[in-house]
Each structure stands twice: as structure tokens, then as C-alpha cells.
Amino acid sequence: MYVCGPTVYNLIHIGNARPMIVFDTFRRYLMHRGYEVNYVSNFTDVDDKIIKAAIEEGTSSEEIAKRYIEECKKDMAAMNVMPATTHPLATGEIDGMIEMISELIREGHAYEKNGTVYFSTRSFRDYGELSHKNLDDLRSGFRDLKVSGEDEKEDPLDFVLWKPKKEGEPFWESPWSDGRPGWHIECSVMAKRYLGDTIDIHAGGEDLIFPHHENEIAQSTCANGVPFAHYWMHNAFLNINNKKMSKSLGNFFTVRDISKQYDLMVLRLFMLSAHYRSPLNFSADLMESAKASLLRIRNAAESLRDIAEGGADAPLDDAAQALLQEAKAYIDRFDERMDDDNNTADALSVVFDLVRFANTGVTAGAPKALAQGVLDVLLVMTDVLGLKVLQEKENLDGKIEALIEERQAARRARDFATADRIRDELKAQGIELLDTREGVKWKRI
């Protein structure tokens, strides 16, 4: 499985996060169903934007890329995105790119003009098949387009495989010029090296369908002589309050920005609340709704754990056995939803059905084995979705005790607004405070 990764010139934004989360979830589901998944996701570490950022900072493009790869990995870990089997860097695959470009030239699919190498779209008869675009219509639209080097092309739709360096840019030696690769050839070469000539699944954002993925297919098929990918998966755009995310509109959010307001498991649940091929609208209201939904799951998981640890040791009677079998059947329902084109939204609805079942069917005093069995079912599904729903008990209890002590200090200082805020914060986490003669006690609700 190959998933196009980010160009690393800044912190990743929440638009970058959507493909990371949805395709990580699909990977987890394939593993849940018994597949061994070789998952490759690249970092584009040489690009005009990276070079521009390096010039503005007075540093090297290598330093910019290295910095933001590390920051990206931190954000991915915080979103519980599993590291790829391989995270190749474009700059580490230059030899393979030169080799593939040379093969395309030998086979008549590419040509060189003044140090620039172009792919000939006319040489690949299936060009446009993925994006359902007609070559003749595309050519008529490009007829009057004049850009640098355009008049050197044999066809306006031909695209760059290798380009000569400009002053101050990083470069590599090649048979055609000192320069660097075009963007599209990078993914073709990395997919070939780490997955083979034909891969099972290729994924990325829908904005990559044309021209990036169309060009990947053309290059790879012509160079390797076999079909490139059996299946394509593309996630739809993420909008902000029904508008396209843009710095100029002031609605541009990085994952790091969101982490200052929310546990990133809230962002993950939000991203999975719609089908990956459907547009998704990001708003404060929807994030608050996702926060409340995550809390419902976590409260159910905490309650089941408490019962499993402190419930009755009695063997399961017929009624409890029937409840446990009913709970296990939710996994089949979950799998059916995921089998339907990675339908995480419907799969989440099964999780909430199980939460309701647990809240009514497994109450205090229930047998430990029943509570543990239902919890195990819940964790199977939330693990596939990549949602962390159980915190370490000691850490959780410690945080609650610290907040209670903070509230007590506020009350002693007659700062009742802060005391009330802490009480409300704990209540939102499913914790009720009880003021007794022996001091403040707490219980989960």
C-alpha cells in the first residue's frame, strides 16, 4: 500500500491529517482481517516550497526538510498514526529516478531538450483513464498556454521528469544536466523500490488524481511494462466552516494548533465520522460534538474496566453468556461496515451501539468475565479505528487528584469561579465530586 505523503516545508495542517488518519485506519483494518501490510508513505524533501522556505530562513533545504519531518512524525504519533513500514525520502532515491528516466527515454516515452527531460503523454494510450479526462479536450485547453519551456515541449501536456538547476538550488548530476527530478517521478520510483512493479493499493488526496497520479500511472506502466496499481483510494477535501482552508481567509489550522485545544483523539474521531470519499466540514461545533462522542466511548470503557477489576468472580450464567455472545456479534457488524469501502462513519455507529449495550447490560455487580469480554470487543473496534480510549489508570487517577487539589486551593483562596470551572471540567470527563466531612470524594458517572 502506497500513500502519498506531505511536502515538508512547514508544520502539517489538518488537511494533511485526513489522508494520514483514514488510510492508517484502513491499514489497521486490513491487519485486523489478517493481512500483512507493507505500508509505504514518502516525504517529499526537495521541492520549490522547501527551497523558498530555506532561502527565507537563510538555511539549507536539507535543514528545513529534516526539521519538519521530525515535527510531522510528532504530530502523526499524537494522532496515533502508525509509522509506515518505510518512510522513504525523495532525495534518497535519486539514482533510481535517473535509472527510470533513462529507461523511459530508451523506450521512446521521454525526450530531452536543453537539459530538461519530458514524458511524452502521446506515447501512453491510456493517459487520462484514472481521472476520466480526454486527452484531446485537455490539449485544446492548453493550446494557448505559454510558460517557461512550454515551446520546447512536443505536446503541451508533456510533463517534466528532470529539470536543470537554478542558482542556489540543490542539485544532482545526471546524464542530461545538473538538476533535480520532477515531482511525479519520485513516487513512481519509491513505489517500485519498496513495493514492486505492481502494487495492490495506492492512496492519497483527491487533489492528486490529476495530474500527479495520472502521471505516476503513465511513467510506471511505461517503464515497468505492467499495470501500476490494482486499486486507488482518494479522500475528499476538508473544508473549514464550509470554505476552503486558506491562510488568506484566516481559517488555516495546523495539527499543532488543534492539539492546544483538543486531545488529538478528538480530531481522529472527527476525521472518521464521515466516509473518506465525502467532503468533510471542520467547525468548532463539530469538534465539540466529536469530543463529547469520544468521552462517551471512554466513559463506557472506564466503567467496563472498573467492573472487570472489581466485579463478582462468579461464573457466567446463561443470561450473562447470552449477553457476551451478543456483544461479540458487534465485531461482525463492524467488519461489514468497514468492508463497504472503508466506511468508518457506519463502523463508528456500531461502536456507539455497543456503548449503549454496555451501559445498560453491564452494570455494577455484573460478573468480571462479562465486563472484560465486552471491554475486549470494544477495544478490538476502537483499536482498528486507532482511538485510544483507555488511559493508564494511575495516570488518570493522578490527574483527577491533582485537579481536586487545585480546586481545593481555589476555594481556600475564595476563587470560586476557578473552583466551579474545575468541577465542570471534571464533570465533562464523567467525574462527579462529592463534598463530605472526610473531604472531597469522587466517582465516575
CATH of the domain at 360: 1.20.120
* Last-in-domain residue among 384, 412, 431: 384
Residue 425 lies in a domain: yes
What pLDDT sits at residue 393? 67
Distance CA 22, CA 345 (A): 11
What pLDDT sits at residue 145? 44
* Last-in-domain residue among 384, 407, 435: 384
Q: What is the pLDDT of residues 253-291, one digit of tens each?
A: 999 999 999 999 999 999 999 999 999 999 999 999 999
Residue 346 lies in a domain: yes
Asked if pLDDT for residue 146 goes beyond 60, the answer is: no
Number of structural domains, the chain?
2
Q: Strands, DSSP E only, in 103-155?
A: 110-113, 116-119
Categorize the per-residue pLDDT at 178 as very low, low, confident or very high, splitting at 50, 70 and 90: very high
Q: Which long-range contacts (CB under 8 A, 24 or more apart) does 427-431 make?
A: 428/295, 429/295, 430/295, 430/298, 430/299, 430/302, 431/400
End-to-end CA distance of the chain: 43
Residue 1 · residue 203 · CB < 8 Å:
yes
The verdict on 297 and 367 lying in the same domain is yes
Q: What is the pLDDT of residues 21-31, one digit of tens each?
A: 999 999 999 99
What pLDDT sits at residue 212? 96
The verdict on 380 and 407 lying in the same domain is no
The verdict on 378 and 408 lying in the same domain is no
Higher pLDDT, 233 or 143: 233
What pLDDT sits at residue 24? 98
The verdict on 351 and 419 lying in the same domain is no
For range 398-426, the mean pLDDT: 87
Asked if pLDDT for residue 444 goes beyond 70, the answer is: no
Q: What is the pLDDT of residues 345-369, one digit of tens each?
A: 999 999 999 999 999 999 988 999 9
3 — phi, psi (to 5°)?
-125, 120
> CA angle, corner 444, sides to 411 and 323, nearest 5?
175
Give me the helix-helix angle, 94-106 and 214-224, nearest 10°: 70
Residue 358 lies in a domain: yes
> Domain of 302?
284-384
Q: What is the pLDDT of residues 369-396, one digit of tens each?
A: 999 999 999 999 999 999 999 977 656 6
What pLDDT sits at residue 431? 83
Express as a percent the part of the chain with pLDDT over 90.
78
Starting at the edge strand that comes first in sequence, how are the strands of the sheet with 243-244 ordered? 243-244, 238-240, 280-282
Residue burial 94-118, b: 16+ Cβ < 10 Å; e: rest: bebbbebbbbbbeeebbbbeeebbb
The verdict on 311 and 377 lying in the same domain is yes
What pLDDT sits at residue 100? 98
What pLDDT sits at residue 202? 98
Weakest mean pLDDT among 65-74, 148-157, 218-227: 148-157
Q: Is 228 exposed, middle or buried (0-12, 13-18, 19+ CB in 10 A)?
A: buried
The verdict on 370 and 327 lying in the same domain is yes
Residue 298 lies in a domain: yes
The predicted model scores a pTM of 0.88
Categorize the per-residue pLDDT at 141 as very low, low, confident or very high, splitting at 50, 70 and 90: low
What pLDDT sits at residue 147? 45
Asked if pLDDT for residue 228 goes beyond 80, the answer is: yes
Categorize the per-residue pLDDT at 423 as very low, low, confident or very high, splitting at 50, 70 and 90: confident
Q: What is the pLDDT of residues 87-100, one digit of tens each?
A: 999 999 999 999 99
Residue 239 lies in a domain: no
Residue 406 lies in a domain: yes
The verdict on 309 and 380 lying in the same domain is yes
For range 110-131, the mean pLDDT: 96
